[in-house]
């Protein structure tokens, strides 16, 4: 049992480092679909993740299709500021996949269109664009954990 966090084409190393740290402290798994806008060896990524990298479960993919092939029955949920359904209205399974797009563009429109029934948003003040990616991931992960009794966490 673990929440699966999926980042599609992340661009900002500090965000990915912070997300890696969130994954470790929550027992979540990180999946990165490339291409990335940086190298995982960059000091900004390592600094943001501090000494948590050694404990991170990380998988890398060249494409979203490769991820789908590995998890054909995956419980995928797509986070976007461009949809109407609030994230707390979804029922997350114990091994759900929370999918987030790159910082500058979010998830591709075609991906959202194909998965409209499973696309959710985090409510915000009108006129604001979106939360920081690492904050949005944290909100989604903790809602999935809450719905599943926080698994093994104390």
Alpha-carbon span 94 to 109, nearest angstrom: 27
Alpha-carbon span 5 to 27, nearest angstrom: 11
pLDDT in the model for residue 46: 65
Q: Is 101 annotated as a binding residue?
A: yes
Angle made by CA atoms 141, 68, 17, in degrees to the nearest 5: 40
Can you list the domains of the chain with their CATH numbers?
A: 4-147 (3.40.1280.10)
Query: What is the value of pTM for the model shown?
Result: 0.94
pLDDT in the model for residue 44: 66
Alpha-carbon span 8 to 34, nearest angstrom: 6
Q: Is 140 annotated as a binding residue?
A: no
Alpha-carbon span 126 to 116, nearest angstrom: 22
Q: How far is CA 76 from CA 45, 71, 92, in A?
A: 26, 10, 9
Q: What is the pLDDT along the chain (154 residues), one digit of tens a residue?
A: 899 999 999 999 889 989 999 999 999 999 999 998 888 776 766 666 567 788 999 999 999 999 999 999 999 999 999 999 999 999 999 999 999 999 999 999 999 999 999 999 999 998 887 899 999 999 999 999 999 999 878 7
- Residue pair 83/118 in contact (Cβ under 8 Å)? The answer is no
Q: How far is CA 133 from CA 14, 15, 20, in A?
A: 10, 6, 12
Alpha-carbon span 125 to 45, nearest angstrom: 30
pLDDT in the model for residue 48: 61
pLDDT in the model for residue 54: 86
- Residue pair 112/119 in contact (Cβ under 8 Å)? The answer is yes
List the one residue out of 9, 88, 23 whose CA is nearest residue 54: 23
Peptide bond between residue 96 and the one before it cis (omega within 30 degrees of 0): no
| 67, containing H or E segment | helix 64-70
């Amino acid at each position: 049992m673990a929440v699966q966090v999926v980042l599609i084409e992340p661009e900002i190393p500090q965000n990915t480092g912070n997300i890696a740290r969130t994954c470790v402290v929550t027992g979540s798994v990180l999946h990165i679909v490339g291409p990335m806008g940086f190298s995982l060896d960059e000091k900004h990524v390592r600094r943001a993740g501090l000494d948590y990298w050694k404990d991170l479960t990380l998988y890398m993919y060249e494409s979203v299709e490769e991820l789908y092939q590995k998890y054909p029955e995956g419980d995928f949920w797509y986070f976007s500021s461009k949809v109407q359904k609030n994230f707390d209205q979804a029922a997350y399974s114990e091994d759900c996949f929370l999918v987030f797009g790159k910082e500058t563009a979010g998830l591709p429109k075609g991906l959202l269109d194909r998965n409209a029934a499973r696309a959710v948003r985090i409510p915000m003040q009108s006129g604001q664009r979106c939360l920081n990616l690492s904050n949005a991931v944290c909100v989604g992960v903790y809602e999935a954990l809450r719905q599943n009794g926080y698994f093994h966490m104390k």
